[in-house]
Amino acid sequence: MANEAVKVKAFLDEDSETFSYVLYHQDEKQAVVIDPVLDFDYKSGRTNTKGAQRIVDFVNSEGLHVAWVLETHAHADHLSAAPFVKEQVGGHIGIGEHIKDVQKIFKDVFDLEKEFLPNGHQFDHLFKDGETFNVGAMNFRVLHTPGHTPSDLCYIVNEQMIFVGDTLFMPDVGTARCDFPGGSAATLFQSIKKILALPEATEIYICHDYPPAGRGHEYKTTVGAQRKHSKHVHDGVSEAEFVKMREERDASLEMPRLILPSIQVNIRAGHMPPADEKGKVYLKLPIDQL
- Summarised one tens digit per residue, pLDDT across range 27-82 is 999 999 999 999 999 999 999 999 999 999 999 999 999 999 999 999 999 999 99
Percent of the chain whose predicted confidence (pLDDT) is above 90: 98
User: Residue 290: what pLDDT?
Assistant: 78
Length of the chain: 290
Spatial CB neighbours of 152, under 8 Å, sequence gap ≥ 6: 72, 73, 96, 144, 145, 146, 165, 166, 167, 191
First to last CA, the chain: 43
What phi, psi does 253 have (nearest 5°)?
Answer: -90, 145
What type of residue sits at position 98? H
Contact (Cβ atoms closer than 8 angstroms) between residue 48 and residue 12 = no
pLDDT band with cut points at 50, 70 and 90 for residue 4: confident
Distance CA 161, CA 222 (A): 9
User: Residue 38: what pLDDT?
Assistant: 98
User: Residue 159: what pLDDT?
Assistant: 97
User: Residue 37: what pLDDT?
Assistant: 98
Distance CA 37, CA 53 (A): 10
pLDDT band with cut points at 50, 70 and 90 for residue 227: very high
In the predicted structure, residue 210 carries a pLDDT above the cut 90: yes
- Over residues 260-278, the mean pLDDT reads 96
pTM: 0.96
User: Residue 2: what pLDDT?
Assistant: 47
Distances (CA, A) of 100 to 106, 142, 263: 10, 17, 13
Spatial CB neighbours of 61, under 8 Å, sequence gap ≥ 6: none
**Which SS3 state, helix, strand or coil, does residue 239 take?**
helix
Contact (Cβ atoms closer than 8 angstroms) between residue 73 and residue 270 = no
Distance CA 138, CA 158 (A): 6
Average pLDDT score over the chain: 96
Alpha-helical segments (H) within 151-258: 185-196, 223-229, 239-251
In the predicted structure, residue 179 carries a pLDDT above the cut 50: yes
User: Residue 1: what pLDDT?
Assistant: 43
Task: State pLDDT tens for residues 100-119.
Answer: 999 999 999 999 999 999 99
Contact (Cβ atoms closer than 8 angstroms) between residue 264 and residue 110 = yes
Q: At what angle do helices 82-89 and 50-62 cross, to 10 degrees?
A: 30
Question: How far is CA 188 from its chain centroid?
Answer: 15
Distance CA 126, CA 154 (A): 13
Task: State pLDDT tens for residues 84-103.
Answer: 999 999 999 999 999 999 99
Distance CA 93, CA 34 (A): 10
How many CB atoms within 10 Å of residue 67? 21
